Chain A
Amino acid sequence: MTGPDIPAAKRAGLPVDLDRLTADGDDWLSAEERYALKMHGVCAQAQPGAFMVRVRIPGGRLGAAAARGVAGIADAYGRGWIHLTTRQQLELHHIDARDVTTVLDAVAALGLTTSSTCGHTLRNVMACPDAGVSIDEPFDCHPDARAVSDAILARSAELNCRLPSRVNVAFGGCPPCRDHARTNDAGFVSTVREDGALGYELYAGGSAGKAPFFAIPLAAFVPRAEVVAAAEALIEVYATHGDLDRPAKGRMKFLIRSLGEERFVALFTDAFARARTRPRPEPVPVSAPEDTALAEVLACAPPGGWGSGVRPQRTPGRAMVTVAVPLGDVDGEDLRMLAALSEGAADATLYLTRNQNVRLRDVALDAVPLVRERLSACGLSLEGADQAVDVRACTGGPVCALAITPAQAIGAALAGHLSMVRNTGLRVHVSGCPNSCAQHQIADLGFSGGKVTVNGTPVLGYQVWLGGDVPAGVFGRIVGRVAEADVPAITEAIVGVWESLRVHGETLSRTVNRLGLEPFKAHIDAVCAGRWAPGPEPDDVAAAERELPLVGAAR
């Protein structure tokens, strides 16, 4: 089957007959109509007649009642499987073509939507899951993230026909989220101006993919009251000047490269000036942490103490508790349990994180052991627990139609690998293709699936990325490639040399970026001789050279 003519589909208005899908199944769909389904959050799986439905969760906030409802939908139509994504969303799989509209209606009845979660759309607007209770954020950025999501989504019918590619937007408050925001097309980083005004630094054009690119600074300060105007202006510049006819070069980062940063900033500045003149609702009041309360917050600790899975929030006597979800996979039973737990021990909301985990907030310190106990009964644990290795994986093959390798199989193998168990702080991301749904470029150790050449033989395997360190402004680099069966061996080799070279508790990425790739290559060669090939796949070298970004690129 040939791929869709996406520009033609957009110019035609992205029509697709959902009623006919329900009545007749999907055999009649053209490639363009299959693309148009993505505007509704519906993506064909590799299995004939089966679809994935992605549910938009702005800022990752999922109410307990809605979570219970999603669990029911998954049980009824999706073999009980719910996948948590790295954009704080939920995915349901195995939806029969004839059940798609029923599922969309059921999701809508929960007060949720699947709109614009796939294809070239404004994807889920991310926000710091700690927003509103964090002790180290300038202020609560979630209401502004929600306002931007609602404003742009309301225009999706028009915008989805004009956007050259997807638009990822993220709001950062706490330090890790602030860094992460710069890997998005639009990154809003909360800040307090010297005069006390609340607003955002705005960055544009970040993305991962084959040519990873950190966002460039676009505006030093956008007041809260103008944040929707800024988002609209940025999207207007992108839709007006981006390359609709070449989707592969459609992302905002390529527009910035073709126009030049100065011209892009000037276009935004003009568009922003126009957008600011339109009347907007006043931003809702937001809370901010108070320095004076910190001592009171930290005066008490939960049983077992603080850690990455149990963190203080700005309400004294309460904690944020992060449930580690292996590979981001839960089933209906898990989700119902988490919903009940959030109602009984937290604030009746599940906060989905970009690490594919679930955070509970407002947990009384003396209730933390109960939470641990309840999770353990379901085979889950808190982040940072001995068994909680941080391995991210996309859906991968053979479910995702775009995937080349079964990312979850490797993810599971690595999660139980001794080198991981020895180093639970390692960040390992596995993508089943170069599209980087698991963001392998920002991990300590990343894997991108594909056909790779080892010893002159093409095999299904992975390119191995080392040293992604977003806070340091560094994307990972490809150290080499291996067949799928040799992923554990190369992992052991890499972790082994890191353990021998690291100093002062260095992360793997910091060691890689201090010493370079050569010591790692030499050690891998000694351990995996004949079973790996150094450097990127030759085809990707050419692609990387063609797509070499101007600034902020991976080194």
Chain B
Amino acid sequence: MTASTARAVAVAAVGDVPPGGVHAVTVEGRPVVLAELDGRLVAFDGACSHAGGPLGKGSIADGRLQCPWHRATFDLRTGAPCAGPARKTLRRYPIRVEAGTVLVVLD
């Protein structure tokens, strides 16, 4: 059995993520984007899987996150690309909310 190395890192206050919007954070050097989906928070890679664009500066519409650089668009439920130039799914990070603080779980 392999010992788990997962650790939760506090990255933001719940209020930092605007309703229907995104919030960019850096977790141990990695860009991560927090977004609100149907009242719940989700976290994905903050660099677009196409050209590394800043998803933390992206926009959300219809449950999809769009990169501001080349309009690569990702399904916020899965991170899968659904329009634009990206071909690869965004990595999704598990998150927890404790006492109003958002924690991102890293491997």
Contacts and interface: CB of A to CB of B under 8 A. Distances in A.
A409 B71 contact: yes
Interface in A25-83: 78-81, 83
Given A399-B69, A409-B71, A79 B87 contact: no
A309 interface: no
- Counting chain B residues whose Cβ lies within 8 A of the other chain, the interface size class is 10 to 19
A411 B72 CA distance: 12
B72 to A, nearest CB: 8
Contacts of A78: 52
A172 interface: no
B47 interface: yes
B50 interface: yes
Contacts of A412: 70-72, 84-85
Interface in B80-95: 83-85, 87-88
Interface in A158-214: none
Contact of B84 (A333, A395, A409): A409
A81 B51 CA distance: 6
A56 to B, nearest CB: 22
A327 interface: yes
A279 interface: no
Interface string A365-391: 000000000000001000000000000
B52 A327 contact: no
A399 B51 contact: yes
Interface in B32-76: 47, 49-52, 69-72
Contacts of A396: 70
Contacts of B85: 326-327, 329, 408-409, 411-412
A488 interface: no
Interface in A306-364: 326-327, 329, 331, 333
B83 to A, nearest CB: 8
A429 interface: no
A329 B50 contact: yes
Contacts of A333: 88
Given A327-B85, A408-B85, A398 B69 contact: yes
A511 to B, nearest CB: 29
B97 to A, nearest CB: 28
Contact of A93 (B51, B70, B84, B88): B51
Given A81-B51, A94-B52, A379 B87 contact: yes
Contact of B49 (A93, A331, A406): A331
Contacts of A94: 52
A450 to B, nearest CB: 18
B31 to A, nearest CB: 9
Greatest chain A CB density within 10 A among B70, B72, B83, B85 is at: B70
A398 B50 CA distance: 13
Contacts of B70: 396, 406, 408-409, 412
Contacts of B88: 331, 333, 379
A209 B105 CA distance: 50
A79 B47 contact: yes
A406 B52 contact: no
Given A81-B52, A94-B52, A406 B47 contact: no
Nearest to B73: A412
A83 B51 CA distance: 9
Greatest chain A CB density within 10 A among B52, B71, B72 is at: B52
Contacts of B72: 412
Greatest chain B CB density within 10 A among A78, A395, A398 is at: A398
Contacts of B51: 79, 81, 83, 93, 329, 395, 399, 408
A79 B69 contact: no
A92 to B, nearest CB: 11
Interface string A501-521: 000000000000000000000
A240 to B, nearest CB: 41
Nearest to B47: A79
Contacts of A80: 49, 52
Contacts of A331: 49, 88
A396 B71 CA distance: 13
B67 to A, nearest CB: 9
B102 to A, nearest CB: 24
Interface of B: 47, 49-52, 69-72, 83-85, 87-88
Which 5 residue pairs across A and B have the least CB separation, nearest first? A79-B52, A412-B85, A409-B70, A408-B70, A379-B87
Given A329-B51, A412-B70, 14 more contacts: A80-B49, A81-B51, A329-B50, A329-B85, A329-B87, A379-B88, A406-B69, A408-B50, A408-B70, A409-B69, A409-B70, A411-B85, A412-B84, A413-B71
22 contacts: A78-B52, A79-B47, A80-B49, A80-B52, A93-B51, A94-B52, A326-B85, A329-B85, A329-B87, A379-B87, A398-B69, A406-B69, A406-B70, A408-B50, A408-B51, A408-B70, A408-B85, A411-B85, A412-B70, A412-B72, A412-B85, A413-B84
